[in-house]
Each structure stands twice: as structure tokens, then as C-alpha cells.
Amino acid sequence: MAYLRWRRFTELASLDRPWLGELFMRKRNKPIVAAPVEKWDAEYQDGIYDRLNRSEQRHHHRLLAAVIGDRWPNPRVLEIGAGEGVFYEALRAHRPARYVGVDFSRPAIERGETRLAPEIAIGEVKMLLGDGRTFATDETFDVVVFSECVEHLGEVEDLVAHYAPNLKPGGAVGLTMWLALKPLRLWHCLKAMGQVLDEAVINTPWGGGWLVAVVRPKDAVE
């Protein structure tokens, strides 16, 4: 318990002090290794992520959806690494005009197609199979969301540059991230790339926390 408390303290303190995170990070020179698609496929097939549908596992989705809905009425949202589209459940209350979820795991996309079948049928939602590092579309969006997946998608600069053409003027990147020292580097990187419109931490009773943020990249002028 004392260790967990210490860890939370260092994570929270590192949000604005990258040097502190680097100081306390174990295995700091070991890169973050992205999991292969087979691992995700097996986990979705085994229903491991069913637990993510539980209410107490979705506070980060709800906050990000509300922050988006506040700024962009009837938002158009592209979610990369969307899994089975659970984020849409939170977005629905904000009457999105468009939601496109992209994931490289076929079982995840298939589950998403079932989950969101009514919205897919009327053309408001699409669930697409694709690699989030290279996915390309001509559509433009108010927000491109990376929820619990940015650490699997390579360098943040490359990612934001790749999706910049898909942002409408004044559009932004939405992020949720489980708080941990190593992935915080990615947050610091994203933060440095533009204007932070919103940033919050949701603490959970079981000791973890999510970072929820919206950043307007420098080039996405209003």
C-alpha cells in the first residue's frame, strides 16, 4: 500500500515535472514495446475486455466525451485503437454527428459492429479494420481520439503529423492514458506539440488513475 501511494505521488508530481518521472522510472532505457495484433485478437476472443464495459472502468471515457461534447456540439470523432467501440457509448450522450472507430484487431472490430449495429445501419458510425499507425481517410473530424492506446502506436510526433490532415480547423487530439511513469513521456511529447485545452486526472478507489486530455496541435489553427 505504501509503495502504491508513493507511486501515485511520483506519477502525479511527474505530470508537470518530466525530470522527476525520469528520476524515479525503473528500466528507463527500456523502450515501450507494442503488443502484436495476435495478443489483442486472443484477448478480445477470450472476452478479457468485457470488464472494460463496467461503469467504474469508463470514467475516463465519460470525461473525455463530455469535454469533447462541450467544445464541439454534435462532434465528428475519429478514434484510433478503438477496440470494440466502447468509447462511443460515452460519446452517444453528446449526439455525435459522426464516429469512425479504427482498430487492427478483427475480433474487436467485429464486436464493435455488433455493439453499434443501429448507428452503423443509419450511417453515423463506422468500425474499420486498420493499423492505427498508417490508417488513411479523406474524412475530417473535430477530434482524433487515442484512448488507452497511444503507447502502442509509435512516436507521438509521427502520429499527430499523420492525422493532422484529418483535423478540421480548430480540431484537436483527445487522449486518455492509464497513469504510469513510462508512458508519461508520450504525454509530455504531445503537450509540447500544441495548446492544452483540457487536462485532468481521474483517481480510482483501487489506486490507479487516468489522465484525460485534449490538445490542439499548433498547426490546427481556429
CB of 39 to ligand SAM, least distance (A): 9
| Secondary-structure breakdown of the chain: helix, strand, coil percentages, each rounded to the nearest 5 | 45, 25, 30
187 binds ligand SAM (CB under 6 A): no
Among 21, 69, 75, 81, binds ligand SAM (CB under 6 A): 81
Binding mask 30-69 for ligand SAM (x = CB under 6 A): ----x-----x-----------x-----------------
- Compute φ and ψ for 147, nearest 5 degrees: -110, 115
162 binds ligand SAM (CB under 6 A): no
CB contact at 8 A, 100 and 116: no
CB contact at 8 A, 41 and 105: yes
Specify the residue for cell string 484487431: 105
107 binds ligand SAM (CB under 6 A): no
CA dist 121 → 111, 151, 191 (Å): 15, 32, 37
Instruction: Return d(Cα 189, Cα 171) in angstroms, integer.
Output: 18
CB of 132 to ligand SAM, least distance (A): 3
Among 16, 46, 50, 131, binds ligand SAM (CB under 6 A): 131
132 binds ligand SAM (CB under 6 A): yes
- Interaction site with ligand SAM (CB under 6 A): 34, 40, 52, 81-83, 86-87, 103-105, 108, 131-133, 147-149, 152-153
